[in-house]
Chains A and B, each alone.
Chain A
Amino acid sequence: MGNPNVGKSVVFSRLTGVNVIQSNYPGTTVGYTQGHLKIDQQEMDLIDVPGTYSLSPACKAEEVARDMFLDENPELIINVVDATNLERNLYLSLQILEQGLPTVMVLNMWDAAKRKGVHLNLEKLQEKLGIKVVPAVAVTGEGIKDLANVINEITLKPAEHISKIPEMDDNEKWAFIGQLLSEVQKIEHRHPSILERLEDASVRPVSGVIIALIVVFITMQVVIGLGELLINYILDPIYYQYYGPFITKVVENFIPTGFFHDILIGSGYEYETSFGLLTTGIYVIFAVVLPYILSFYLVLGFLEDFGYLPRLAVLLDSIMHKLGLHGYATIPIVLGFGCNVPAMLSTRILEGKREKFIAATLVAVSVPCMAQTAVIIGLLGPYGIQYILMVYGTLFILFITLGSILNLIMKGESPEIFFEIPPYRIPHMGTLLKKTWMRVRGFLMEALPFVFLGILAVNILYLVGVMSALSSLLAPIMSQMLGLPSQAIDALIMGFLRKDLATAMLAPLNLSPGQLVVACTVLAASFPCIATFIVLIKEIGIKDMLKTVALMLSIALITGTILNIILS
Chain B
Amino acid sequence: MITLVELENGQTAIIKEIGGGSGLKNRLEVMNIREGKKVKKTCTAPLRGPVVIEIDGCKMAIGRGMAKKVWVEEI
Contact = CB atoms under 8 A, between A and B. Distances in A.
Partners in one complex: yes
Interface of A: 53-54, 56, 58, 84-85, 87-88, 91-92, 116, 170, 174, 199-200, 203-205, 208-209, 310, 313-315, 317-319, 326-327, 415-421, 423
Contact of A84 (B44, B57, B64): B57
Contacts of B29: 170, 174
B66 A314 contact: no
Nearest to A89: B32
Contact of A315 (B28, B31, B45, B57): B45
B7 interface: no
Q: Looking at chain A's contact residues, is the secondary structure mostly helix, strand, loop, or mixed? A: helix
Interface string B35-75: 00000001111111110100011111111111000000000
Nearest to A206: B46
B50 A88 contact: no
A20 B62 CA distance: 29
A85 B61 CA distance: 16
10 contacts: A88-B30, A170-B29, A203-B43, A205-B46, A208-B46, A314-B50, A317-B49, A326-B63, A418-B62, A419-B61
B51 to A, nearest CB: 9
B22 to A, nearest CB: 10
B30 A314 contact: no
B53 to A, nearest CB: 10
A315 B66 contact: no
B47 A87 contact: no
A315 B49 contact: yes
Contacts of A327: 49-50, 61
A91 B43 CA distance: 27
Nearest to B24: A418
A98 to B, nearest CB: 15
Interface residues of B, number: 29
Contact of B58 (A54, A318, A416, A420): A420
B60 A418 contact: yes
Q: Looking at chain B's contact residues, is the secondary structure mostly helix, strand, loop, or mixed? A: mixed
A53 B31 contact: yes
A314 B28 CA distance: 18
B2 to A, nearest CB: 19
B11 interface: no
Contacts of A170: 26, 29
Contacts of B66: 416, 418
A209 B46 contact: yes
Contact of A116 (B46, B50, B57, B59): B57
B42 A200 contact: yes
A54 B42 CA distance: 26
A54 B50 contact: no
B74 to A, nearest CB: 19
Contacts of B57: 84-85, 116
A454 B59 CA distance: 48
Contacts of B65: 416
B45 A418 contact: no
Contacts of A85: 32, 56-58
Contacts of B32: 85, 87-88, 91
B17 to A, nearest CB: 15
A182 to B, nearest CB: 13
A315 B42 CA distance: 14
Given A116-B57, A203-B52, A418 B27 contact: yes
Nearest to B67: A416
A103 B49 CA distance: 41
Given A54-B30, A174-B34, A421 B46 contact: no
A350 to B, nearest CB: 14
Given A318-B46, A418-B61, A418-B66, 17 more contacts: A56-B26, A85-B57, A88-B32, A88-B58, A92-B30, A200-B42, A200-B43, A203-B42, A314-B52, A314-B61, A327-B49, A416-B50, A416-B62, A416-B65, A418-B62, A420-B60, A423-B59
Nearest to A320: B49
A186 B33 CA distance: 21
Given A88-B32, A317-B49, A416-B64, A421 B59 contact: yes
Contacts of A205: 44-47
A142 B3 CA distance: 43
Contacts of A418: 27-28, 31, 60-63, 66
Contacts of B27: 58, 418
A335 B60 CA distance: 22
A189 to B, nearest CB: 10
